[in-house]
Structure 1
């Protein structure tokens, strides 16, 4: 998630009252704003937009509000329209995942399942709960998601819920409900009982406007969702968005969102609203993830580092490397083609120039000086059959080729492994990047579905609890980490399914 300070012209600043902000827009002389208006006055707002030579770009479902794109000079008149309550910037919301690493093989249990105690509770009653996933859709035909109780929405901008061009939503869904079927992974609720409702707000680019998010969560409520899971966020609050979440909370819906991945004290929204649970990320050692935003709004923590889950079939990448008789653990060079190559290993130095001596060989390249795309492209231009980029500092890493298209497979390796391979030059190396249906990702995006799924699991066993009471029980039963009591990095601590269940059993709801 990246946020930049917007440079606002004096004309725009003068056009709005002190408690509103204008938006950046597709055209330099236009802005995209959300207008909240008097009940029953939608037709008048349409007329006002047209009169201002603007357009209605989104009508927010379930609310007297819509997004308009209008000329900058029309903002003052819009703000002063008697049918208008307020005008605010239509902020952007982003998917909150970081690095990606493919995986293949038989079924495994991700470390997060036991960390949140999901393996200590039965999900046999989970059919009485519905989790609404607001994200990029899912691959409904995925081998590890098929058979779940799935419903969803069609969206004019993003299409049908059962496809996932961004891959993010499928990863989230797997953490919640990947099936116990001898394939891939298992989710927190693995036995096809939990109800999932999918609302697709992201396309392949992984962002959406707040107005679209507001429509999405209102549709979750209309579909009967008990829990809304949002692995997304943005840098500024929105009145209209906040009102939607407050209304949902009053209707007994529990909303849960990612705290953000900037690693700062900045507050992300919707996680920052009082009616939304903000989720921070931990690693497998229950340590705070350095990318996880930390502030007074963080309420619960959950696994968010190297979380293995589902991605659309065949879209993941599983890298592998052998040199001679040694197999090395390598990471994905994002953008590498799915391919395999075997050839003698050759030292290609820093890979900063074309060198015909590596023709017909696998290039071993040290990280540094030039970008990864240049290194791999130079290897290819030299006649190299594949590339291995090893770290110039301790540890492994993941790289990306960006928009550069290459034809040879490429992977990354740790510094120690790279140095070991320097002693194997001339031996046959096999670099492979195979298609995968699963991937390990980092992010508060990955932590959020753990909490959403645990909330639904515990609630399914205590349907007499309200959403507000369940929230208190989850907070009070969390494993305290870091500074004693609630703190900025961990909130109340690591969410615990069994502990929450036991607490409600012994003390009642909301204790």
Structure 2
């Protein structure tokens, strides 16, 4: 058999495809074609009853319903039951009954039953119970264990007050149809009806809203429920200088099972006290409460002993409270409490000055005008010197179409503050924060030259972000600073508001106050001259600046020389700036109640109008709609689908097919009565003509179903052609037939003796199996030389065993992910996986749309009907990638450029992929999930030119005091000879050598730039180097800072003195930049301590926890004890505070690794 060269392929896609068809909405109505035999009786519906405790005719989605009647089909699958237009799952059936589950998406409607004998419709409607609603609850306050009555709608539909119905109601609760929660704690439900629930307040409940959860939805009470505490013992008075011995037990105050006593004493401002609680029976825990009920200090005993101690200087006169409690639930025993004022002669002090980790100073490195070329930036703190011009090309943000000239990449593991400053009066810069895939997280766009822009951002978890600089108008230098914010308490997780707006320049939406005349407002010399641009409605008017040219003329330098400033020469940037300035004046005018810009709204991405596009979750997963904004395809791109053939009459494939071929050489396998022929029509792959897959039709629809035609589904490509090549029949296909089909697609000699009029651009093979063939590999090499990219499915055996042709060299091997972006359970894995794409998982419904998460595409069946259905498999993932490859090549063709080579295509696909799993390429996801948007963007960036084209290694140079010489290169990124006519500097302190030169293709000219700092005063300097050539011109901005570096300001810094044994805070102090970072901590008992300093940006009362700057004397890695002597000031305890600190790496914890789990507590500094 081997001598005959026939090797049978195991067709992966056939084995593991599980079809789920959209019968209820997608399959066309074929009732006229039903065959009705007179020997069979039509079915009848007598009644229907939910099994989960509801009255007849009502239920939630997902409820099991028993339909009683007669003449039902004995085989469950031969009964089709629909609730309205939604098909229900038939669980079991007898002649007289059918058990079904109410489908998700169903609405109140009649029940329909269809059997081979006919159809029947219920006389009554089945009512779908709606989302629950809470109207009230009583009582509004109760203790844990009390019963609360909740009233409202749509809770349940069974009254369990009667014993006959208790079983049914119990069934509701047992199956989880009804849940009640106090906060996030589940409550016991004692009874439930449609309008009332009785529930028990659960142990641990806190004040908050009540939730009722049913399969129809979740509702929350508008008011908060109050959990009452049981009354406790009154506070006991204790004097300073006293000590008491008491016992904690179940007769004392209790909070969640922890017993505590309360003491009160009179304290004075600046009085230093030591409060100590000792016990041999339990771990002690102390709280000190201020006169206005704020926690001033606390100390637990997690360090290993049984004592707790607070030493503090009181901030004010008043009555203070002490909470003396055990650290654990249920702990009992005796303890001693003392409040002592140490003698002043026994106290000492510590003082010193802190220093801050300096900024890392960087210069901008070009090119950095795209996500792919973004300049990598260090973790904060960092300063970047750069420059930008509104005329520079840049990255287009898909959300708003803003063009960002400079982009920096940073991995953010905590809150950051980004600041953009410029002293240039000729430029207006805007600041953007972009997500990993280029979408806007936040932006700052204060209008006006030389203004400061700033953003604060806190990610939910470590993530990559891009910082973008947009030159809104003009050009100039800037300084970009990335640091930690002074405070993080007000930051929402996952980013901030601030996505800015596009608006109509010169227009305003204004509402006038009723007592003022609109007509008299049209000319206001102090504001401007306006005209009505639209009719006024209810005081609301659209105003338009009528004298923009005149106003801008007075602001323009041309006015000084007497030149006319014509309105047609007004730049859009200048007019936008004037619009912002005028808006501020309008808002201050007494005649105006409200004024806003006339904002422009746009669709975020292209959305086709295909009927079932909303079910194609796979497309948004790979950023396909954003790619469609850039390219939708090209009719000169052909994708060959090597598969089971095609159902060419499917409505959603019309206009997308070119001539294909049938390469199945075995007549028994072909099932069409002949061998190879020019007809690739799919007759089915089931010899019994009952369960054919029409696999090739599904694959073809994913690549190129007719899109935006108001029907069916969308394809990855909107334009382009599909070449159907049939190789799979009743028992699969052979290598011989498959490789000949591929040769045909590439326009190479093959077994058909013919070639297509135009070869394919891409070949998709959603097929495969084990067994390596050198002959097949050699043919693939020939095909790749023809410039044809090959994409193949990796296999569905959930194994790392190599599957071919996907594992052949040069082939893009595609694995599958599901809707949760995890490897699909069937998908193969291993080192040969190139990329992954959506393949679906028909056993899940992650997006809760009521359908299994398969891939939806075009289908047919053995009866000749055409419809749409869900399949899963790497067979479904592969055409997603093939379609993206078609878009990549279409982008090149649209620019009039030659197609990319297969190697270039694969590089684009892999280098732009969304990284999943382990960082970088891994055996599960390859290079990651295909990203259609980034693929197309990179393809567009790959435009090549045959003429000389100037390119410089950087557009910005930044000199520092220690660096007076830098270099850059001029390269020829095109063809021919680049002649550099001049390289000139615009400042006397800058020297450039050489000033002219020639650069061959792919060559470079090294230019040296020198600065003479002699005689330059402290300050910032900037200039530009102009380069002219026969391949275009270039400008390099030069910036320099002479003198003292910028001083960081990280906000308040807290000093804590820490006990050397327990690592508990003894005393605290505060300093900041206004105090020159100096500090003094007084009233310390004689002894040895560690001294720690740090920020508290999240205001949680701890320093040196995650996200904070931190320092220790003399260093964090090797902290040393500081000795405090009575009546002495220990001076010069100075050290550095740094960012990116983990408490777990501190030398403090070498001997006591469990002493500090979070950070060091700040004591007595704030309320």
* TM-score, scaled to structure 2: 0.25
Looking at structure 2, the residues matched to 479 and 453 of structure 1 have their Cα atoms a distance apart, in angstroms, of 17
Equivalence map 1:11-90=2 (5 Å): 32-33=1-2, 68=4, 90=7
Q: Is 1:201 equivalent to 2:736 in the alignment?
A: no
1:439 counterpart residue number = 869
Deviates more, 1:175-184 or 1:157-166: 157-166
Q: Is 1:134 equivalent to 2:642 in the alignment?
A: yes
Q: Is 1:171 equivalent to 2:606 in the alignment?
A: no
Over 3 Å counting, the alpha-carbon distance change for 1:124 and 1:480 in structure 2 is: closer
Q: Does structure 2 conserve the Cα–Cα contact (< 8 Å) formed by 1:93 and 1:209?
A: no
2:253 counterpart residue number = none
Q: Does structure 1 conserve the Cα–Cα contact (< 8 Å) formed by 2:764 and 2:878?
A: yes
Over 3 Å counting, the alpha-carbon distance change for 1:507 and 1:459 in structure 2 is: closer
Looking at structure 1, the residues matched to 908 and 641 of structure 2 have their Cα atoms a distance apart, in angstroms, of 22
Q: Is 1:504 equivalent to 2:939 in the alignment?
A: yes
Q: Does structure 1 conserve the Cα–Cα contact (< 8 Å) formed by 2:6 and 2:735?
A: no
Q: Please report how far the alpha carbon of residue 505 of structure 1 lies from its aligned counterpart in structure 2 after TM superposition.
A: 3.2
Over 3 Å counting, the alpha-carbon distance change for 1:182 and 1:279 in structure 2 is: same
Q: Please report how far the alpha carbon of residue 115 of structure 1 lies from its aligned counterpart in structure 2 after TM superposition.
A: 1.9
Q: Please report how far the alpha carbon of residue 154 of structure 1 lies from its aligned counterpart in structure 2 after TM superposition.
A: 3.4
User: Which is bigger in relative contact order (C-alpha 8 A, separation at least 6)?
Assistant: 1
2:653 counterpart residue number = 145
2:922 counterpart residue number = 487
Equivalence map 1:107-506=2 (5 Å): 107-109=611-613, 110-122=616-628, 123-155=631-663, 156-157=665-666, 158=670, 160-166=679-685, 167-180=694-707, 181-190=709-718, 193-205=719-731, 207-222=732-747, 223=756, 224-305=759-840, 306-312=854-860, 437-463=867-893, 464=898, 465-506=900-941
SS at match of 2:857: strand
1:413 counterpart residue number = none
- What do the CA deviations read for 1:186-216 (whole angstroms, capped 9, x no partner)? 11013xx2111111001244x1111111111
Q: Please report how far the alpha carbon of residue 438 of structure 1 lies from its aligned counterpart in structure 2 after TM superposition.
A: 1.2
Over 3 Å counting, the alpha-carbon distance change for 1:186 and 1:90 in structure 2 is: same
Q: Does structure 1 conserve the Cα–Cα contact (< 8 Å) formed by 2:807 and 2:813?
A: yes
Q: Please report how far the alpha carbon of residue 124 of structure 1 lies from its aligned counterpart in structure 2 after TM superposition.
A: 4.7
Q: Does structure 2 conserve the Cα–Cα contact (< 8 Å) formed by 1:103 and 1:436?
A: no
Q: Please report how far the alpha carbon of residue 436 of structure 1 lies from its aligned counterpart in structure 2 after TM superposition.
A: 6.5
Over 3 Å counting, the alpha-carbon distance change for 1:495 and 1:164 in structure 2 is: farther
Q: Please report how far the alpha carbon of residue 149 of structure 1 lies from its aligned counterpart in structure 2 after TM superposition.
A: 3.4
Q: Please report how far the alpha carbon of residue 290 of structure 1 lies from its aligned counterpart in structure 2 after TM superposition.
A: 1.3
Looking at structure 2, the residues matched to 314 and 234 of structure 1 have their Cα atoms a distance apart, in angstroms, of 26
Unaligned runs of 5+ in 2: 27-610, 673-678, 686-693, 748-755, 841-853, 945-1167
Looking at structure 1, the residues matched to 12 and 660 of structure 2 have their Cα atoms a distance apart, in angstroms, of 19
Looking at structure 2, the residues matched to 462 and 147 of structure 1 have their Cα atoms a distance apart, in angstroms, of 23
Deviates more, 1:296-305 or 1:217-226: 217-226
Q: Does structure 2 conserve the Cα–Cα contact (< 8 Å) formed by 1:134 and 1:217?
A: yes
Q: Please report how far the alpha carbon of residue 476 of structure 1 lies from its aligned counterpart in structure 2 after TM superposition.
A: 0.4
Q: Does structure 1 conserve the Cα–Cα contact (< 8 Å) formed by 2:644 and 2:727?
A: yes
Q: Please report how far the alpha carbon of residue 313 of structure 1 lies from its aligned counterpart in structure 2 after TM superposition.
A: 5.6
- What do the CA deviations read for 1:201-253 (whole angstroms, capped 9, x no partner)? 01244x11111111111111113111000000010111111111111111111
Looking at structure 2, the residues matched to 466 and 276 of structure 1 have their Cα atoms a distance apart, in angstroms, of 13
Looking at structure 1, the residues matched to 924 and 682 of structure 2 have their Cα atoms a distance apart, in angstroms, of 35
Looking at structure 2, the residues matched to 213 and 225 of structure 1 have their Cα atoms a distance apart, in angstroms, of 15
Looking at structure 2, the residues matched to 477 and 508 of structure 1 have their Cα atoms a distance apart, in angstroms, of 17
RMSD: 2.1
Q: Does structure 1 conserve the Cα–Cα contact (< 8 Å) formed by 2:623 and 2:932?
A: yes
Structure with greater Cα Rg:
2
Say how many residue pairs are matched.
Answer: 305
More helix per residue: 1 or 2? 1
Looking at structure 2, the residues matched to 119 and 315 of structure 1 have their Cα atoms a distance apart, in angstroms, of 35
SS at match of 2:908: helix
1:4 counterpart residue number = none
Q: Is 1:99 equivalent to 2:14 in the alignment?
A: no
Q: Does structure 2 conserve the Cα–Cα contact (< 8 Å) formed by 1:234 and 1:268?
A: yes
SS at match of 1:462: helix
Looking at structure 1, the residues matched to 636 and 938 of structure 2 have their Cα atoms a distance apart, in angstroms, of 21
Looking at structure 1, the residues matched to 683 and 626 of structure 2 have their Cα atoms a distance apart, in angstroms, of 31
- What do the CA deviations read for 1:117-141 (whole angstroms, capped 9, x no partner)? 2222345542121100000001000
Looking at structure 2, the residues matched to 506 and 496 of structure 1 have their Cα atoms a distance apart, in angstroms, of 16
Q: Does structure 1 conserve the Cα–Cα contact (< 8 Å) formed by 2:813 and 2:832?
A: yes
Q: Please report how far the alpha carbon of residue 95 of structure 1 lies from its aligned counterpart in structure 2 after TM superposition.
A: 4.5
Q: Does structure 1 conserve the Cα–Cα contact (< 8 Å) formed by 2:763 and 2:791?
A: yes
SS at match of 1:490: coil
Over 3 Å counting, the alpha-carbon distance change for 1:183 and 1:212 in structure 2 is: same
Over 3 Å counting, the alpha-carbon distance change for 1:89 and 1:178 in structure 2 is: closer
2:962 counterpart residue number = none
Looking at structure 2, the residues matched to 143 and 314 of structure 1 have their Cα atoms a distance apart, in angstroms, of 17
1:8 counterpart residue number = none
Looking at structure 2, the residues matched to 292 and 285 of structure 1 have their Cα atoms a distance apart, in angstroms, of 14
Over 3 Å counting, the alpha-carbon distance change for 1:274 and 1:297 in structure 2 is: same
Q: Please report how far the alpha carbon of residue 182 of structure 1 lies from its aligned counterpart in structure 2 after TM superposition.
A: 2.2
SS at match of 2:654: coil
Q: Please report how far the alpha carbon of residue 164 of structure 1 lies from its aligned counterpart in structure 2 after TM superposition.
A: 4.5
- What do the CA deviations read for 1:283-342 (whole angstroms, capped 9, x no partner)? 1121110110001110011010111111116769xxxxxxxxxxxxxxxxxxxxxxxxxx
Over 3 Å counting, the alpha-carbon distance change for 1:453 and 1:308 in structure 2 is: same
Q: Does structure 2 conserve the Cα–Cα contact (< 8 Å) formed by 1:314 and 1:437?
A: no
Looking at structure 2, the residues matched to 315 and 101 of structure 1 have their Cα atoms a distance apart, in angstroms, of 17
More strand per residue: 1 or 2? 2
Unaligned runs of 5+ in 1: 1-31, 35-67, 69-87, 317-434
Q: Does structure 2 conserve the Cα–Cα contact (< 8 Å) formed by 1:154 and 1:161?
A: yes
Runs of 4+ in structure 1 deviating by more than 6 angstroms, as ranges, are none
Q: Does structure 1 conserve the Cα–Cα contact (< 8 Å) formed by 2:766 and 2:793?
A: yes
Q: Please report how far the alpha carbon of residue 277 of structure 1 lies from its aligned counterpart in structure 2 after TM superposition.
A: 0.8
Over 3 Å counting, the alpha-carbon distance change for 1:474 and 1:482 in structure 2 is: same
Over 3 Å counting, the alpha-carbon distance change for 1:218 and 1:480 in structure 2 is: same
Q: Does structure 2 conserve the Cα–Cα contact (< 8 Å) formed by 1:252 and 1:468?
A: no
Q: Please report how far the alpha carbon of residue 184 of structure 1 lies from its aligned counterpart in structure 2 after TM superposition.
A: 2.0
